[in-house]
């Protein structure tokens, strides 16, 4: 396995749940292009490199479009104070207006 193939496999592994069955064709395309890049001793030609780059960009866009699982909200002042995520407190006491 060459550099490009290893990089693609690392990317797909890191993507985890972001890659689903509907992305199978894209994954296979990226793998095939990576293998072709690795098989060329003098480096990929302009067309192959361009196609490979486009496929990688598309794959990265798919991964970026899916929010990461288990990510924590930002540590801004509002989240530290619990303002943004806290339930709204009622200003009415005892149910009277």
Residue 24 lies in a domain: yes
Question: Is residue 44 included in any domain, yes or no?
Answer: yes
Is 81 inside any structural domain? Answer: no
Q: What is the pLDDT of residue 83?
A: 56
Tell me which residue range forms the domain holding 16: 3-65
pLDDT digits (tens, 9 = 90+) for 10-67: 999 988 888 888 999 999 999 999 999 999 888 899 999 999 999 999 999 988 887 7
Which has more pLDDT, 53 or 94? Answer: 53
How many domains, the chain?
A: 1
Mean pLDDT of the region 70-85: 56
- Within a domain: residue 17? yes
Residue 37 counted as domain residue: yes
Write the CB contacts of 73 (distance below 8 Å, at least 6 apart in sequence). Answer: 79, 84, 85
In a domain, 94, yes or no: no
| Structure-derived torsion over alpha carbons of residues 50, 54, 60, 62, reported in degrees to the nearest 10 | -170
Q: What is the pLDDT of residue 16?
A: 85
């Amino acid at each position: 396995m060459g550099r490009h193939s290893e990089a693609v496999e690392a990317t797909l592994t890191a993507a985890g749940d972001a890659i689903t069955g509907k992305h199978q064709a894209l994954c296979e395309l990226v793998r095939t292009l990576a293998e072709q890049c690795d098989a060329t001793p003098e480096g990929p030609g302009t067309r192959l490199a361009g196609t490979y780059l486009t496929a990688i960009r598309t794959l990265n866009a798919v991964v970026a479009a899916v929010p990461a699982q288990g990510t924590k909200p930002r540590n801004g002042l509002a989240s530290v104070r619990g303002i943004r995520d806290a339930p709204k407190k009622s200003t009415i006491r005892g149910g009277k207006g």
